[in-house]
Amino acid sequence: MERQRTYMAFEDFHEFLSLVRSSITVSEEYEQDMYTRLTMLYPNQKMTTYDLFSYLVNHTLHKNVDLAVEMIFLAFDTDKRGIIPVEALHPRVLEAWAEENTFGNLRDSWLKLAEALRQEEQFLGNNMIAGTPFLDPDSLRALLCSSDALFAVANRVDLEGGERRAKSTRK
């Protein structure tokens, strides 16, 4: 049986998000950007609540993404203020940090993240982080989940050295 596809207006999208998201609040501008991006995933068909729910489930509660966010903050939030400068995510900055602070497989993981950010640099600069000087952990997590490529790399790379990643995959 084929699912009936119906148009989801921005107002419906906003209402749905308010029901399923945690206490994290985002601006209406950010919600509009999410809505636009999601509707681009379904250019020849209508987006349904099922489509939206599937997307959100596939991009939430991933311990490896959370661990990647934590490791990036350990590297770049040196004064423990809970924010990092957006410039820390520039591929050259990540590469330089990896060269100075890591080696072996750990360095390779950081370099893979830098390369993924390089591939998404135009989208991120034009849409996600344009005009934003700092990111908090929730914003960084949202950024890492903003594209399938970044999400895949954030889920796959080991920015910590494997100790907790191995534990989290056994649970």
Q: What is the pLDDT of residue 132?
A: 75
The structure's pTM equals: 0.62
| pLDDT (0 to 100) of residue 33 | 74
Kindly tell me the sign of the dihedral angle through the C-alpha atoms of 77, 78, 79, 80: positive
Q: Tokens representing 104?
A: 């072996």
DSSP-based three-state secondary structure for 120: coil
What is the model's pLDDT at position 82? 94
Please tell me whether residue 165 adopts helix, strand or coil conformation.
Answer: helix
CA 162 to chain centre: 20
Q: Which domains does the chain have, with CATH numbers?
A: 10-61 (no CATH), 63-155 (1.10.238)
Under 8 Å CB-to-CB from 52, ≥6 apart: which residues?
8, 13, 16, 38
Phi and psi based region of residue 2 (left: phi greater than 0; alpha: psi -120 to 50; beta: remaining)? beta
pLDDT in tens, 91-137: 999 999 999 999 999 999 999 999 999 998 876 765 556 567 888 89
Query: Over the stretch 31-75, which tens digit does the pLDDT of each residue have?
Result: 777 777 777 766 666 666 666 666 666 655 578 888 999 999 999
Instruction: Indicate whether 76 pLDDT > 70.
Output: yes
